[in-house]
Chain A
């Protein structure tokens, strides 16, 4: 064999060993993501089915799925799910809009920051659940107080994210805007807003996560519908399978809504030169 042959063989070998690797991460990532929960479920199911564990307080997957199925059949699941999703949606929208507006104003105007930020930071230090009694007094025990509580939860991370990222936009890029004589609003629209988009998306995701947290708190304080109601109901009637079923739905909803948010905003932040772009 000549040197060139050797080199060619070596290259072929390298290629063939590289080729199969390319599909592995693509298929592997979703598989890896569900591996742990599925394994856990399987083990628990086997333990309970074989009588090694009673499963009375921690129901096996089969019972949870059955409970879900029952709820679904009667249309209850749908009803409760819709109530919860609706609250989170409105609370999220209200909180996010307020967070973006106030964060924008305090991030952009120094005077506004000096006036508003200390107060907002102080309000942030209050555990949000502490608002519940007041909100009930103000807005009654129905939807408004619940949506308001969720909105408060969503507001703070969004406010903080927008305000902080706005005041830390790279001066160098802002100077480009000034050289091209962008006026106040154009500067916001063409430079500041795009520059903070990635941070905004992150804070919206955090806010949405808190929204799901707070909807449970809101539904604990007396609701006749919603997934949180299913939790309370399950506790009072001693139905752990219903509780776990509701928790499962929360997990799926949370993951799904976060994924949706990432998906919707992905085109807006595709320009980022990230160390690693991970599919989520």
Chain B
């Protein structure tokens, strides 16, 4: 088992019960999409797995070893690129491998630049990049550390549809090449259905898993009919929303997180 979450719970100091006793096992190389209404604890879940936040109860284990703090085999990609504005693209990407020798850094840099299609952008500063390019740099910065677990928190939601589609393809290529375990939080049913082996639908207050939907289709899925799967995800989401205090919101509004960047 790559990742195993046991009775994972998080209550923030302000008393908000963001997660309550969540159990989830994730296999090596599996792609899991987490979907759910805004505020149902998706980001909290990723922050706990990444070690950025510590659990109130329960535990996260990677290869059976408990995650207490940010772990070298786990990397988290945020919704915003969060590049360091004073570093060039190249320096940003190599931020996590500064300790390696220059030769190895250069070798890995060329490989990831190729993967995210950013050759010839190395010397630019973050302020000189578009949103999609910046997010690709953020992905490259995570990839270059060769993580076994890649966590992505709504990584493409601030991007336009075209860029989003191309970055989804990139992500699948990366998965095919390096085979990391991927947990991606999304509010996009289409995205979840297109990328994941398993879709986890969450429910709020406290955050927990309502349903897990196995997507037994090969990847990539460009030519496949995803409608039946999307239907099941949609149905599960409706049930998840029915339990909230805003059931009158339509589905897309409720799960879209565009204005809430946390």
Contacts and interface: CB of A to CB of B under 8 A. Distances in A.
A178 B86 contact: no
B85 A271 contact: yes
Given A178-B70, A179-B70, A173 B82 contact: yes
Interface residues of B, number: 20
B50 interface: yes
Given A179-B50, A180-B95, A191 B127 contact: no
B86 A176 contact: no
A173 B78 contact: no
A194 interface: yes
A276 B187 CA distance: 37
Given A172-B78, A175-B82, A197-B86, A180 B96 contact: yes
Interface string A137-176: 0000000000000000000000000000000000011011
B86 A271 contact: yes
Contacts of A272: 85, 127
Nearest to B47: A175
B75 A179 contact: yes
Nearest to B78: A172
Interface in A171-194: 172-173, 175-176, 178-181, 190-191, 194
A195 B145 CA distance: 24
B80 interface: yes
Contacts of A195: 86
Contacts of B50: 179
Nearest to A197: B86
Interface residues of A, number: 16
Nearest to A172: B82
B171 interface: no
Contact of A178 (B52, B125, B127): B52
Given A180-B95, A271-B125, A173 B70 contact: no
Contacts of B106: none
A278 interface: no
A13 interface: no
Interface in B212-257: none
Nearest to A191: B84
A178 to B, nearest CB: 6
Nearest to A178: B70
Interface string B42-59: 000000001010000000
A176 B92 CA distance: 11
Contacts of B70: 178-181
A132 B34 CA distance: 66
Contacts of B126: 271, 273
B118 to A, nearest CB: 18
A178 B69 CA distance: 9
Contact of B52 (A173, A179, A191): A179
B31 interface: no
B189 to A, nearest CB: 27
Interface string B64-92: 00000110100110101010111100000
Interface string A258-280: 00000000000001110000000
B202 to A, nearest CB: 22
A190 B72 CA distance: 18
Contacts of A181: 69-70, 72
Of the candidates B70, B86, B145, the one having the most CB atoms from chain A within 10 angstroms of its own CB is B86
Contacts of B76: 179
A70 to B, nearest CB: 50
Interface string B93-104: 001100000000
A161 B164 CA distance: 40
A273 B52 contact: no
A172 B75 contact: no
Given A178-B70, A179-B70, A271-B125, A172 B80 contact: yes
Given A175-B52, A271-B85, A271-B127, 9 more contacts: A172-B82, A176-B82, A178-B70, A180-B70, A180-B96, A181-B70, A190-B84, A272-B127, A273-B127
27 contacts: A172-B82, A173-B82, A175-B78, A175-B82, A176-B95, A178-B52, A178-B70, A179-B50, A179-B70, A180-B70, A180-B95, A180-B96, A181-B69, A181-B70, A181-B72, A190-B84, A190-B95, A191-B84, A194-B84, A194-B86, A197-B86, A271-B85, A271-B87, A271-B125, A271-B127, A272-B85, A272-B127
Interface of B: 50, 52, 69-70, 72, 75-76, 78, 80, 82, 84-87, 95-96, 125-127, 145
